[in-house]
Amino acid sequence: MAIDLHKFANPARFLRITAVIFPWAAALTLLLLGIGLYFALFVSPEDYQQGNTVRIMFVHVPAAWMSMSVYSMMAISAAVGLIWKHPVADLSAKAAAPIGACFTFLALVTGSLWGQPMWGTFWVWDARLTSMLILFFLYLGYMAIWESYDDPSKAAKAAAILVLVGAINVPVIKFSVDWWNTLHQPASVATMDGPKIHSSILTPLLIMGTAYMSLFVTVFIIRVKAEILNRRLRMMRLVQLED
Amino acid sequence: MGSFFSLLKRDIQLAVRQGSAFTMTLSFFVIAVTLFPLGVGPELSILARISPGVLWVGALLACLLTLDRMFQADFEDGSLDQLMLGSMPLEIMVLAKISAHWLTSVFPLILITPILALSLNMPGEGIGAMILALLLGSPVLSLIGAIGAALTVGMRRGGVLLSLLVLPLYIPVLIFGVAAVEAAIAVLPVGPHLLLLSGLSLGALVLCPLAAAAGLRLAVD
């Protein structure tokens, strides 16, 4: 790889870089969430069948995107942590997990609130919904395994193995609407023939997607920073005990 | 290969002589399945409708019951360290353990399934498909379970965590397993579901020993 990963693996340098990014990411989140919500709730047209409930989509779809992206990102960091033994990679996977779990939960809840008026039921056991629920359980299992080891380096490896095994679920979620005949509608934004929805809806959706992404970056930086400081504190305590 | 079979033989002998593993999982399976007619009501049409799912979920939970002992007994008395020091690759060792687990705690469940299926009023067409689906799909339960067992081997109360880790990964087997039986009952082609189950088994056969071995290395060093 052309980018030198080892350079960013240094926690001190990582903290310095994120300190520069953080205010921009936070400001971008506020700005995009403001614009995105305004467009989504007021400007974009009502659906001719769904009426105003279609606006749930602007909260639901980006959350679902993020839930899968965050899991993929965790799987990649976990693999980097396993292969090159970079402690920051493990910590970044750990820091991302609760955020991803929140996005998954948000997608599930908004989805079922949207399902009630549209499908007439809060929940159906079709492939897309079930695989999202599995993803939520995978996040919970990942967080649980971090808690159940005393030694953080062992916990990191165990969690990395688990997250890599669970990564098989991500393509299953993505293609579940194509492989099975589901109630959930098939992919309509990222298709081979380009987006299938009108720009008056697509633009606010993409703005919201970017806003969620920068929200993730903002929260992620806070959490990784806390993890790194936490680990430093632990080391300092250990050194103190040895003296 | 010789050491693979001797380890397999040793584990089966241990299970047979202890005896409790067989009878406990079997009676758990029978009791768990018997609870459903009591809970749902004895109406035969409803029982026939839910029987594939009940049997699959029962088998899944019964399999989970013995998973945490897969490596733990050897871990506690130190023979796991000895096995890992030996010349046998750890992945093969794990595979022997998985095979022993499947033969001792999953295979007996499959043998008793036809009787339970009859008691739940499952249509005759479904029973054959149920056995085939279990035979093809249940190795996945032991294989994926081995990863969870390896990751929780050193923990004092790993059983609960084990089920949290493993059950979400069992869901695909459950879905295709039940779909195969329901297709057979509805006289639809069963082949695709059985092929998917075999595919899951073969994929798990390749990947799971690697992951479980990595988990064991972590627990022991």
pLDDT score, position A235:
84
The distance of A11 to chain B (nearest Cα, Å) reads 24
Is B172 part of the contact surface with chain A (CB cutoff 8 Å)? yes
User: What percentage of chain A carries pLDDT values higher than 90?
Assistant: 9
- Is the pLDDT confidence value at A212 over 80? yes
Number of H helices, E strands in chain B: 10, 0
pLDDT score, position A99:
92
The distance of B188 to chain A (nearest Cα, Å) reads 17
Q: Where are the domains of chain A?
A: 22-44+54-177+197-242
- Is the pLDDT confidence value at A2 over 50? no
Q: Is there a contact between A141 and B164 if contact means CB atoms under 8 Å apart?
A: yes
Question: What average pLDDT does range A189-195 have in this prediction?
Answer: 62
- Kindly list the residues from chain B whose CB atom is less than 8 angstroms away from the CB atom of residue A141: 161, 164-165, 168
pLDDT score, position A39:
81
pLDDT score, position A177:
67
- Is the pLDDT confidence value at B10 over 70? yes
pLDDT in tens, A54-85: 788 888 888 888 888 999 999 998 888 888 88
Average pLDDT of every residue of chain B: 85
For A164, the closest chain B residue by CA position comes to: B211
In which band, very low, low, confident or very high, does the pLDDT at B44 lie, cut at 50, 70 and 90?
Answer: confident
pLDDT score, position B201:
92
- Is the pLDDT confidence value at B94 over 70? yes
Least confident of A91-105, B67-81, B92-106, B137-151: B67-81
Angle between helices B44-67 and B158-185 (to 10 degrees): 140
pLDDT in tens, B153-206: 877 777 788 888 888 888 888 888 888 888 888 888 888 888 988 998 998 899
- Kindly list the residues from chain A whose CB atom is less than 8 angstroms away from the CB atom of residue B218: 154, 157-158, 161
3-state per-residue secondary structure call for chain A: CCCCHHHHHCHHHHHHHHHHHHHHHHHHHHHHHHHHHHHHHHHCCCECCCEHHHHHHHHHHHHHHHHHHHHHHHHHHHHHHHHHCCHHHHHHHHHHHHHHHHHHHHHHHHHHHHHHHHHCCCCCCCHHHHHHHHHHHHHHHHHHHHHCCCCHHHHHHHHHHHHHHHCCHHHHHHHHHHHCCCCCCCCCCCCCCCCCCCHHHHHHHHHHHHHHHHHHHHHHHHHHHHHHHHHHHHHHHHHHHHC
Q: Is there a contact between B168 and A137 if contact means CB atoms under 8 Å apart?
A: yes
Question: What average pLDDT does range A87-92 have in this prediction?
Answer: 84
The beta-carbon neighbor of B161 closest among A145, A154, A164 is A145
- Is the pLDDT confidence value at A190 over 90? no
Q: Is there a contact between A161 and B151 if contact means CB atoms under 8 Å apart?
A: yes
- Is the pLDDT confidence value at A19 over 70? yes
pLDDT score, position A52:
72
pLDDT score, position A126:
74
Q: What ipTM does this complex have?
A: 0.73
pLDDT score, position A105:
92
Is B202 part of the contact surface with chain A (CB cutoff 8 Å)? no
Is B151 part of the contact surface with chain A (CB cutoff 8 Å)? yes
pLDDT score, position A202:
79
Q: Is there a contact between B151 and A158 if contact means CB atoms under 8 Å apart?
A: yes
CA A35 – CA A160 distance, rounded (Å): 37
Is B174 part of the contact surface with chain A (CB cutoff 8 Å)? no
**Dihedral, CA atoms, B18, B24, B27, B29, nearest 10 degrees?**
-130
pLDDT score, position B139:
92
- Is the pLDDT confidence value at A102 over 90? yes
Q: Where are the domains of chain B?
A: 2-220
Question: What average pLDDT does range A34-53 have in this prediction?
Answer: 76
pLDDT score, position B179:
84
The beta-carbon neighbor of A161 closest among B155, B161, B215 is B215
Least confident of A35-49, A80-94, B109-123: A35-49
Q: Is there a contact between A165 and B171 if contact means CB atoms under 8 Å apart?
A: no
- Is the pLDDT confidence value at A185 over 80? no
pLDDT score, position A33:
86
Is B207 part of the contact surface with chain A (CB cutoff 8 Å)? yes
- Kindly list the residues from chain A whose CB atom is less than 8 angstroms away from the CB atom of residue B158: 148
Least confident of A54-63, A196-205, B77-86, B150-159: A196-205
Q: Which of residues A85 and A192 earns the better pLDDT score?
A: A85
pLDDT score, position B140:
92
pLDDT in tens, A220-237: 999 988 988 888 888 888
- Is the pLDDT confidence value at A9 over 80? no
Query: Which range scores top for mean pLDDT: A198-212, B115-129, B132-146, B177-191?
Result: B132-146
Is B155 part of the contact surface with chain A (CB cutoff 8 Å)? yes
- Is the pLDDT confidence value at A1 over 60? no
